[in-house]
Each structure stands twice: as C-alpha cells, then as structure tokens.
Amino acid sequence: MKKKGEMKKVKKVKGKVHDGEHDDPWWSLVQNGIKPSFLCISIFALLVRVAVGLHPYSGANTPPKFGDYEAQRHWMEITLNLQPKDWYRNSSVNDLSYWGLDYPPLTAYQSYIHGVFLKTFDPDSVALFTSGGYESYIGKLLMRWTVLSSDVLVFFPASLYFVFVYSIRLGTGRNSDVAWHISMVLLNPCLILIDHGHFQYNCISLGLTMAAIAAVLSQKDLVASVLYCLALNHKQMSAYFAPAFFSYLLGKCLKNKNPLVDLAKLGLMVIGTFAVVWWPYLQSKEAALTVISRLAPFERGIYEDYVANFWCTSSVLVKWKKLYTTQSSRIFSLTATLLTCLPSMVQQVLVPSRKGFLYALLNSSFSFYLFSYQVHEKSILLPLLPLALLALEERRSLLWLTHFAMFSMLPLLHRDKLILPYMAIYTLFILVYFAPDGPGARCNGSKTLDHSPKKTRRGMEFISFIAFHPFVMGFLGLCSLILHVIYLTMHPPNRYPFLFEAVIMLICFSQFVLFTLYFNSKQWMLSKHVTSQDKQKLI
C-alpha cells in the first residue's frame, strides 16, 4: 500500500494526469504530447520503409517490359529530356506504348524533379533512349530514396497534421491512443509494401488527400479544396474521394448564409489550382485533350488481373469483356459507381458532419473500388486511407479489412517476390495493432452504437451481426490463412491456372461488399444520431 501514497504524489506532480494512466505502459512514451511520440514512431516507420526497400521491386530483372519501377524511371527519363508539351504526345522520341506517361501533370513534375536528382548522381539511369530497362545497385538506391523523401516530405507531415487535428476535434484525449492512431496511419502495411516494395508514389497523392481531409476537419475548406485538387492532379485515382469532398463541401455551403458565394469561392480555388497545374497544356485545346485522353485508358478493359471488385468477381458468371463493348461497359460502371456512392453523398449534403465526412470518404472510395472502370489491386490503398484515419472508431474493421486488403494483394506481391516483407510487415501491423494495452488490444466496439436510439440500430445490427459474428470471422480468417499456405506452396491444377487467385478474389470481394454496406449504414446512423441529439437540444 506504500505505492498508493506514492502514486498520489505522482498525481500532484503532474496535475494533468488522468486516472488510469498508470495502467498505460506507453504513458512514458507519450506524456510529452503528440510530437515526441510522432517523431519516434515516424523514425521507426521510416526505418521499416528503408528495410522494405532492400527487397526487390516490381519487374526486377524481367525484360522486356519490366514493371512499375521501370515505368517511373522511364517517366523521369522522358520528363527530364523532353519539353512539357511532348510528355504526353507520341513521337519519335517518346514511344507511348512503352510505359507512356498516363498520370496527371503533377506526377510528371514530380518525375522531373526526381529525374534531376537521379541525373546528378547517376546520369546513365535517366539518359534518353539508352537507359531503357536500366537497373543498377546505385540506381535502385536512388529511386528508393526518391520514394522515401516523398514519403517524408508529404505523407508524414500530412499524417501529423491529420492526427493533430483529429485528436483536438474528435479525439478521446488519451495520448497513447493518439500515438496508436499515428502508428496505424504510418505503418499501414499495404501502403508500405506498394510504395517501397512494389514501387510507386502513392504516398504523395494519399498524403495530399490526407492533408486535405485534415484541412476539412479544421474548417479550412479553401485550403482543403486546393490540397485535394493537387492530390487529384497527382493521381487521377484520387477521384475515388471526390464524391465525399464534393458532397460535404456542398452540404456545408448550403447551410451557410450565402451558399452561392461560398460555392463560388470553392469553385475558383479548384479552377485556379487546376489552371496552375495544367498551365503548359492550356495553350491549345488539342494539347489538353491529348493529356486527358492519356489519363483515361479505356482501352485497357473494365478490369485487370484478379482484382476483388464487382466486375472482376462477377465475370466468373458474366463475361463482361466479351459481351459488351467498351462504350457500354463504361456506362455500366459509371452508373453503378454513382448509384452506390449516392446514399453517402446524400447523407453528407443533408447533414454534413466531420465524422460523417470521414465515413463518406470510406464509402465513396469503396464504391469506386468495387464498381468503377479499370480498377487495380493496388486501388485498395484508397479505401484503406480513410479507414486508417478512422482507426480509433473502427478498430475491428481496420484489422479485418487490412487483413483482406493485404490478402487481395498477395498474388501481386508474390509476383514481385515480396513475400518475406509481406509476412514481416503484416506481423508488424498485427503487433502494433495489439500493442500491450493499446486501443487495439482493448477492442470494445464503437461508442456511437451504444448511444443511438434503438430503432435506427436494427439494420445496422444485422450487418454488423454478420460482419463481426465470431463464427464468420473465425471461419474466414482460417480460410484465408489456409489459402495463404496453399497459394505459396502448391501449384494450381493445370485446367484452372488461376484458381487460387479467383478464390482469393471471391473471399476478399465478399468482405469488401459486406463492409461497404456496414459503413454506409453506419454513416446514415450517424446522421440520425446527430438529428436526434439536435432534437433533444431543442426540447
């Protein structure tokens, strides 16, 4: 009992100490606020990224086409040696059929800057024509460092900004929870594997999106729209989030006194940002159209490989690619995507709220992933971002969906020979998630459920009953574990060479659909919760 007296002393020394913080082994790490723990976690996250970078990249030693690594290197070569107007145009010096630039101008500028960096240290790696398929120790290193630096310069500050804003506006106040939140954002296994293993620059567009989200949460709508436009101009896939941004900002403007003025401001910001980014291509209509046509590669078909979305999964039954022309399948996918986005958009237009906005991001990106045209396995990164941002709200879903997102990328990463980092990073995620006495280990559902009126809970309950039923979860978890082993150790039967991929896709798809429904209902329940609260206030 001696210790009890001492503990009281502790409380006197530090007035701010909350009850129960002594049970928190991480308290020592986070007692000084967010920034020191952020620094610590981000150094660790960086270390993990560097270590993943030691492993092979996509298309290493596989001529003639190589992989994404070669694509990025080729873009550096093109942007460094050609004039901006020639970047997107097929010519004798720019063969668009060999990894032609098909991302928006911001990616091109980024490639240019990185190209300059590469040129200073290893000129051969970005020499025009001769550098095709260039691979070397130092070249790989420099390329890896470009991703690392983008991560440090864009994604890390953005996540700090977000977590800072989130913990002030929506947070629970426990510092160790905030630290856990940071590590969930920074140690997202899929993002690390794709950016630093497979080789891409998702960290930039996702970082910009995250910064935009943070700006929205802190009411800086104009900044948010600029940041989001930049994200959109880095990677057109950021459009997955467009419905959420659009509907939230629209809903908010409509609530103001002068909706038109606010809307006009936002519109001007958007147009201005686009004009700046697209400046070299605005000289003629033709130039702009060339770029746009490069950005929308409809000729690639409605889906690719074995992505766990609706079109690919249903193609087991309906051969979309054979039955319908590109034109009609484009219309199908557009309609389906918009229809599935619609509920969450309507909710945000009617009752825009910060938390609702985060759910709307999740829902719209899932709709796009499931139904839009030309989705890639890697696109699962986009829904995972808002999910990681909602980590403290959606603890179980985060764990579960990250598991299936990783699983859905298993074939891709297996091709890239990234199985060892796959397993290591996945283990790391699980370990960090279940950090002793962290929020993950304390998993106790979400609080909003308990306060909401009973009527609205019924539909929600049904979905979460299925989604979180221990039997279902255990069964699917076991299935996916066994499938991992089977996929890595056995050869598929000759008649069905892609049998395992198809099974993986089916399982992942089922979970993604289920959770899209769950998140949609949750978002709607939020608004009911809000309105009922408002009513209570009025009474």
Partner 1 sequence: MKLQESPRSPASITQLLWFFGIATVVKLLLIPAYYSTDLEVHRHWLAITHSLPLGQWYYDETSEWTLDYPPFFAYFERFLSFFAPLIDPWIVHLHHGLSYKADSSIYFQRISVIVSDLFLQYGVHISTRNLASLKRNLVWVFVIWSPGLLIVDHLHFQYNGFLFGWLLLSISFLAQGRDLMGGFMFAVLLCFKHLFAVAAPVYFVYLLRHYCRGGLVRGFARLSVLGAIVVAVFAAAYGPFVYHGQIQQVIRRMFPFGRGLCHAYWAPNFWVFYIVLDKGIAFLLRKFGFDIPSPVASFTGGLVGDASPFAVLPRITPMTTFIMVLLALSPCLFKTWRYPRPRLIARSVAYAYTCGFLFGWHIHEKASLHISIPLALVAVESLEDSKHYFLLSVVSCYSLFPLIYEAQEYPIKVLLLLLLLHTILMWFCFSALFPKIIGTKGSLQSDKKATQSDSKGISRTAAEKQWFELGWVAKSYLLGVVVVETWGQFLHPYLLGDKLPFLPLMLISMYCAIGISYSWIWQLKRIIILS
Which residues of the chain form contacts with partner 1 (CB under 8 A)? 3-4, 6-7, 9-10, 13, 22-23, 25, 27-29, 31-32, 36-37, 39-40, 43-44, 46-48, 50-52, 54-55, 137-138, 141, 145, 148, 420-421, 423-425, 427-428, 431-432, 434-436
56 vs 133, which CB is nearer to partner 1? Answer: 56
Tell me how far, at minimum, the Cβ of 411 lies from partner 1, in Å: 21
Tell me how far, at minimum, the Cβ of 283 lies from partner 1, in Å: 42
What secondary structure letter does DSSP report for 372?
A: S
- Phi, psi at 303, each rounded to 5°: -150, 170
246 vs 433, which CB is nearer to partner 1? Answer: 433
Tell me how far, at minimum, the Cβ of 77 lies from partner 1, in Å: 22
* C-alpha–C-alpha distance, residues 188 and 185, integer Å: 6
Tell me how far, at minimum, the Cβ of 63 lies from partner 1, in Å: 21
Q: Which residues pair with 303 in a beta bridge?
A: 375
7 vs 264, which CB is nearer to partner 1? Answer: 7
43 vs 264, which CB is nearer to partner 1? Answer: 43
CA angle 340, 246, 396 (to 5 degrees): 55
Q: Cα dihedral sign for 391, 394, 400, 401?
A: negative
For tokens 């603890």, the residue is 395
Residue 318 CA, distance from chain mean position: 29
* C-alpha–C-alpha distance, residues 507 and 519, integer Å: 18
CA angle 45, 50, 54 (to 5 degrees): 140
Tell me how far, at minimum, the Cβ of 35 lies from partner 1, in Å: 11
Largest Cα–Cα distance of the chain, in whole Å? 84
Tell me how far, at minimum, the Cβ of 500 lies from partner 1, in Å: 24
Q: Is the backbone peptide bond immediately before 64 cis, with ω within 30 degrees of 0? A: yes
Tell me how far, at minimum, the Cβ of 167 lies from partner 1, in Å: 19
430 vs 449, which CB is nearer to partner 1? Answer: 430
Q: Cα dihedral sign for 169, 174, 178, 184?
A: negative
* C-alpha–C-alpha distance, residues 95 and 252, integer Å: 46
10 vs 275, which CB is nearer to partner 1? Answer: 10
223 vs 423, which CB is nearer to partner 1? Answer: 423
* C-alpha–C-alpha distance, residues 324 and 276, integer Å: 39
98 vs 145, which CB is nearer to partner 1? Answer: 145
Tell me how far, at minimum, the Cβ of 162 lies from partner 1, in Å: 22
Secondary element (H or E) of residue 251: helix 242-255
